[in-house]
A and B are shown apart, each in its own frame.
Chain A
Amino acid sequence: MARLELHQIRKSFGNIDVLKGIDLTVEDGEFTAFVGPSGCGKSTLLRLICGLDEITSGQMMIDGQVVNDVPPAKRGLAMVFQSYALYPHMSVADNMGYALKLGGTPREEIRRRVEAAAKVLRISDYVDRKPRQLSGGQRQRVAIGRAIVREPKIFLFDEPLSNLDAALRVEMRIEIARMKERLGTTMIYVTHDQIEAMTLADKIVVLNAGRVEQIGSPLDLYNAPANRFVAGFIGSPRMNFLSVQEQRLEGGRARVHGGLVSLNTLPPEAPSEIGVRPEHLELCAPGSSNALNGTIVMTEHLGSDTYAYVGLEGTDEMIVVRLDGERSIRQGEHVGVSVNPDAVHVFSADGRTLVSAKPMARNAA
């Protein structure tokens, strides 16, 4: 159990600044996810926390102690690597017990802790096997088990599920969620999969180009993204962005391709784009008031949902509308898309959020 504090953490490789001043506090027992596109610095940040790379400048504290120069093993952390990084010549039990053995833990104690971890992760039958004799999912469990036996203050996960197939990924995600409940340890989890972040994390840190874009609970980020980047990154399918055609509003309504969108809250400055999530749009008859006009370009039937791609009038821009799974629409059909004024996000030209939508049930319009 531990509290982690980062103050103005910077990391440069030569002339390239990978992290440009990260401030972050991870509370004791909190599950924090770092998300962001490839190259945003999330893995680098995790490696700095683990101690695998040196911090260029800034201060890192665990439980109030500065750990900038403390070697990885002395920080009381355990890391689960993306590639598992199991020692191929050692049995599962030896893999899991390696850190304890190095730390001089008595043999009997190592055996006890390895057995306990193996039981929890349901790999007791495999402890004598070598990693190459295990499936991907089992290897992943061993990698997690190797972290568990060390009883670390903080768990670090570096995209631990990205090498697994879709079904196994969901299974392991639930496994990690249960582990979080059971252990109550502080955990930091790096992923580019926002669904993993949304489902697992208490707190999400959205990183982009070496900076923190926003820190907040999953629903905070979903409902009130601080800027266009976060709005586009969190949520699946992603938010629809419509460029505002005229800076001047027409009676509280913004002109976009295909029509006018009513805004319930007037933005303090000229809007550049408005954003609406696919689940907050509804199809209606073409030409309806407060609706955008367009044509159905394509539909995707997922069973539970149907996504309709609507090409708006006078542009190549498409917006995605999330519909009921049973709904069937013809391609090429002319439709109206009604936008709930409460669900509209408004962004400035430099990407700041001017107006956030109000939290609401889906398809409330």
Chain B
Amino acid sequence: MFDLSSTVSKVVFGLLLGLIGLFLFFPLYWLAISSVKSNAELYSIVPTPFPLAPTLTHFVTALTTGKLPMYLFNSLVASGASAALNTLLALYAGYSFAKYRFAGRQPVMLFMLSAQMFPFGLLLISIYPLMSEIGLLDTRTGLILSYIVFALPVSTYMLYSYFSQVPDELIEAARADGASDLRIFHTIVIPISIPPIVTVFLYSFMWSWNDLLYSMTLIVSDEKRTIGPGLLLTYLNEVNSDWGGAMAASLLASAPIVAAFLFLQRYFIQGVTAGAVK
């Protein structure tokens, strides 16, 4: 075996990590610098590695002339609502799977997770006529519900795993103190489960925010369109050549997720349950 602390291995590992980093971040870097380059610079024969004269024109144009704000708003509504509803449902479902013993618990859990085995596109084939049948095609409600279909199994499983680790004695102590089952869940279990709840919320929010296929298929009217198809239809068509605008809009579309992660990262820090038992 080679020695990880040797200089040679440090150099090799450093180079490898650097390469992976470059591979991952170069497109992002290019996106960022392209969004602040002028059109003249963007179309120069030899690409410039740094913007020569940074400008915010593309951002201003994207936000003022196009429909980007509307798409962003639509995405916020669809993603926010589906994430909230999904988290709420996953909370109760995950807790009941984790802490109650009832007939069919395991089969139901497996059945739910089996939904994950099918490709998204495949399920769309059955969701589309269903939405059409119940009149939810081209509605925000329909889009939100279809997002939940995909996020809920994994979300439930994530919370189930967490709740399984909540000590039974904590719940029993609350029962002995006279709290009802719902009260225990609301006043004891949820307050100590903020980190996983935030994780699940972000997971399902991202899921719907990044979606292209479902929104593209289920939403027809432009005023309900979300950011994914919005960006695609605005910038990636045969006649468009506004690359600067596309880059600026893409950055703007990524901003909410990045902001949410930065804002909520403290909840990912573990140790909130320390001191409960032992």
Q: Would you call B276 and A86 a contact (CB within 8 A)?
A: yes
A contact residues around B278 at 8 Å (CB): 83-84, 136, 163
User: How many residues on the B side are at the interface (Cβ–Cβ under 8 A)?
Assistant: 23
- Taking CB atoms and an 8 Å cut-off, the chain A residues in 74-105 that contact chain B are 74, 77-79, 81-89, 98-99, 102-103
Q: Is A73 an interface residue (CB 8 A)?
A: yes
Chain A residue at minimal CB-CB distance from B180: A102
Q: Would you call A85 and B183 a contact (CB within 8 A)?
A: no
How distant is B272 from chain A, measured CB to nearest CB, in Å?
7
Among A72, A130, A136, point to the contact of B175 (Cβ < 8 A): A72
Q: Would you call A73 and B272 a contact (CB within 8 A)?
A: no
A contact residues around B22 at 8 Å (CB): none
How distant is A114 from chain B, measured CB to nearest CB, in Å?
14
Q: Is B192 an interface residue (CB 8 A)?
A: yes
How distant is A137 from chain B, measured CB to nearest CB, in Å?
13
Q: Is B24 an interface residue (CB 8 A)?
A: no
Name which of B37-45, B103-111, B148-156, B164-172 contacts chain A. B164-172
Q: Would you call A79 and B192 a contact (CB within 8 A)?
A: no
- Taking CB atoms and an 8 Å cut-off, the chain B residues in 163-201 that contact chain A are 167, 169-170, 172-179, 183, 188, 191-192
Q: Would you call B188 and A82 a contact (CB within 8 A)?
A: no
How distant is A360 from chain B, measured CB to nearest CB, in Å?
43
Q: Is B273 an interface residue (CB 8 A)?
A: yes
- Taking CB atoms and an 8 Å cut-off, the chain A residues in 125-176 that contact chain B are 130-134, 136, 139, 146, 150, 163
B contact residues around A102 at 8 Å (CB): 177-179, 183
Q: Is A50 an interface residue (CB 8 A)?
A: yes
Q: Is A195 an interface residue (CB 8 A)?
A: no
Beyond A81-B169, A83-B167, A83-B169, whether A88 also contacts B176 by CB under 8 A is: no
Q: Would you call A82 and B192 a contact (CB within 8 A)?
A: no
Q: Would you call A88 and B169 a contact (CB within 8 A)?
A: no
B contact residues around A131 at 8 Å (CB): 275-276
Q: How far is the CA of A130 from the CA of B232 in the complex (A)?
A: 51
Q: Would you call B178 and A103 a contact (CB within 8 A)?
A: yes
Beyond A72-B178, A83-B167, whether A88 also contacts B173 by CB under 8 A is: no
How distant is B99 from chain A, measured CB to nearest CB, in Å?
14
User: How many residues on the A side are at the interface (Cβ–Cβ under 8 A)?
Assistant: 33
Among B177, B178, B192, B277, point to the contact of A89 (Cβ < 8 A): B192
* 0 or 1 for each of B54-93: is its CB under 8 Å from A? (1 = yes): 0000000000000000000000000000000000000000
- Taking CB atoms and an 8 Å cut-off, the chain A residues in 214-249 that contact chain B are none
- Taking CB atoms and an 8 Å cut-off, the chain A residues in 188-227 that contact chain B are none
Q: Is A285 an interface residue (CB 8 A)?
A: no
Q: Would you call A79 and B188 a contact (CB within 8 A)?
A: no
Q: Would you call B167 and A132 a contact (CB within 8 A)?
A: no
Q: Which residues of A does B touch, CB under 8 Å? A: 50-52, 71-74, 77-79, 81-89, 98-99, 102-103, 130-134, 136, 139, 146, 150, 163
Q: Which residues of B does A touch, CB under 8 Å? A: 167, 169-170, 172-179, 183, 188, 191-192, 271-278
11 A-B residue pairs with Cβ-Cβ distance under 8 Å, sorted by A, are: A52-B175, A73-B178, A73-B179, A81-B173, A83-B277, A84-B278, A85-B167, A87-B192, A99-B177, A130-B275, A150-B177
